[in-house]
Structure formats: C-alpha cells, structure tokens
C-alpha cells in the first residue's frame, strides 16, 4: 500500500480547500480555510464514522438480531487477526457494503439488506472480508476523512458564488476567479477522491481474498453487486455522493454530475485480478452456477425469516 502517495493526495485535498479560501478572501480566507480544514480533520477522526453510518441509516445488530451475518463477520475478523468490529445493516435494496472507523479497535462494517438477500453466504463472506481488509490496512480513517473534506470543498465552492465576488473581502481574482474555483474545485476534489479509492481497492480485494481463502467468492460477489447497482438506486448515496468511494462498488446511478468520474476501478478488471489470484492459489472456490440458494442456505423461493432491521 502506497501510504506516501495517499498522504500526498490528502495534502492535495487540503491545499485545494485552502485555495478556495484564497479565491474567496485572499490570504485571510486561506488562513481561515486552513483552520477549518484542520478542525474538520480532528472532528472527522473522532466522529466521521458515526456521521457516515447515520447518513445511510445504518442500524447496529448483534448476535441475537442477525446471528448468521454477525457470526460470519466474527469468523472473518478472527481469520484476519482483527478485533470484532461493530456490525450494521442498512435497509436498502441496492446490494452494497462499506467499512468505517478510525482504527481496527473502533471499526464498523455495514451491509445493505439488498446484499444479504441477493448474494450467497460465500459471496457475502468475500464482500465482508474485503471490508475487513480495509480495516486491517487502516484505509477506513483515510477514506472517511477524504469524504468529509471532499464534501466540504463542494459546499465551500457553492458558498463562493455568494460571497466571493465582492471587492472588500481581499479577493485578488474577482468574480472570474471565484467562478473558476466554484466549477473546477469540486471536479478536482472528485479526482483526488477517486485516486485515493483506486489505490486501495485492488489491495483490499487481494487481502480480502486471503482472509476468506477463496478469491472467486469475492469475484462472483462483485459481478452481482455491479449488476444490482445498475438497476437499483441508492437514494442515501445520491444525497451524499462524497461517501460513494467508501462502498465496495460505486453506489451512484451516474445521473448526477457527481458521478462523471468513477471512484472505483473497473469491476471487470477487479474480477480479472481475482481470477489470476485464484489461479496462483491453485483453486478458486467459485460458487456453483445456477445456485438457487440465498445467502444463508434458504431457497430463494422461500426467503429466510427476516430479523431485526429487516422487520
């Protein structure tokens, strides 16, 4: 994992935030933006995971409410040598998942009801192993802070339209500079966000395959999730596009300008890399084709009884 490159990308986001402050209010605006960025990083360190979970209406579950899912995460965490994370379920039909938390001791993993209902148990194991790989690699803190700063850049760029054009605020570029900042800054933030995510997804795929022991479980899951995302909207993700890079597959529909650039590597390329890894490991463990069984062994025509957040 190239942590130096990630540090540079985070520094670029902070510099971009300060640059917008300079466009709005000159040197004083830049200083204020720096103070805000520093405060946001501190706040994000302690609270961003809770904010992201709240944005997506995630509900924490325990062994009584979701025994199969909870025990699966516990087994995978033990395989990865990680403390047991908090487990959340999101009542959303789109198949997807993400991990968050400032460190492995304070981590959380979340899966949608769509993911649990559409994937086999082995495929769910591949997905959650991928998320635990993010936890093990300490990606969750970086990705959560990135989401916070990227969202703030977009808000500050919009703010510039209203307060960046006056002559008494030390703005050295006038309205033209503010206009450029308001248009270019969110796109630049998106590119940096995309770069941070892409540097980490392949590594998490590989480590996740090692954690669950079967690369093809994750490959099969990615194929199903990508297909589901194309046809099922995630309204919470559309309202909070700065969190899109945290999911295992980009949850955005592409109907908004926020999704001009993908925050994830191409799914087919990820699957191909996992197929190569399976050959290296001398197997694959691909789920049986045409399986009619749901994630926990129940036939799809007779779905498992819903518990907890499922109602």
pLDDT digit string, tens, across residues 219-265: 999 999 999 999 999 999 999 887 888 899 999 875 544 444 466 88
pLDDT digit string, tens, across residues 136-179: 998 887 777 776 677 677 677 666 656 555 444 555 555 665 66
Question: What is the structure's pLDDT at 194?
Answer: 66
Q: Which two tokens stand for residue 149?
A: 């700063």
- Stated pTM of the model: 0.76
**Parallel, antiparallel, or unpaired for β 97-100 and 108-112?**
antiparallel
131, 238, 255, 280: the active-site residue: 131
Question: What is the structure's pLDDT at 30?
Answer: 78
CA torsion through residues 288, 290, 292, 296, sign: positive
Residue 131 appears among annotated catalytic residues: yes
Question: What is the structure's pLDDT at 1?
Answer: 43
Closest by alpha carbon to 225, among 89, 111, 60, 102?
111
> Are the C-beta atoms of 286 and 216 separated by less than 8 Å?
yes
pLDDT digit string, tens, across residues 33-66: 778 777 777 777 787 789 889 999 999 999 999 9
- In order of their start, the domains of the chain are 3-16+48-162+174-281 (3.30.2010.10)
């Amino acid at each position: 994992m190239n942590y130096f490159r990630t540090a540079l990308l985070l520094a670029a986001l902070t510099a971009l935030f300060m640059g917008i402050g300079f466009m709005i209010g000159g040197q004083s605006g830049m200083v204020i933006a720096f103070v805000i960025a520093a405060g946001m990083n501190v706040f994000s360190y302690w609270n961003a995971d809770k904010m992201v979970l709240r944005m997506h209406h995630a509900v924490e579950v325990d062994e009584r409410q979701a025994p199969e899912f909870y025990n699966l995460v516990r087994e995978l965490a033990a395989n990865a040598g990680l403390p047991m994370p908090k487990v959340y379920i999101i009542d959303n039909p789109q198949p997807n998942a993400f991990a968050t938390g400032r460190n492995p001791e304070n981590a959380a993993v979340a899966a949608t009801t769509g993911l649990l209902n559409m994937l086999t148990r082995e495929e769910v194991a591949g997905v959650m192993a991928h998320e635990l790989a993010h936890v093990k690699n300490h990606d969750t803190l970086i990705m959560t802070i990135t989401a916070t700063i990227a969202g703030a850049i977009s808000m500050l760029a919009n703010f510039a339209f209203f307060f960046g054009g006056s002559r008494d605020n030390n703005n050295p570029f006038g309205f033209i500079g503010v206009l450029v900042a308001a248009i270019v800054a969110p796109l630049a933030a998106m590119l940096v966000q995309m770069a941070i995510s892409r540097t980490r997804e392949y590594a998490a795929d590989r480590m996740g395959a090692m954690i669950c022991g079967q690369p093809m479980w994750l490959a099969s899951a990615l194929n199903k999730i990508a297909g589901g995302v194309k046809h099922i909207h995630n309204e919470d993700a559309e309202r909070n596009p700065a969190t899109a890079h945290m999911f295992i597959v980009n949850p955005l529909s592409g109907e908004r300008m926020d999704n001009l650039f993908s925050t994830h590597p191409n799914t087919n390329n990820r699957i191909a890399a996992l197929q190569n890894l399976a050959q290296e490991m001398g197997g694959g463990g691909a789920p049986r084709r045409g399986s009619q069984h749901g994630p926990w062994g129940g036939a799809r025509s007779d779905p498992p009884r819903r518990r907890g957040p499922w109602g």
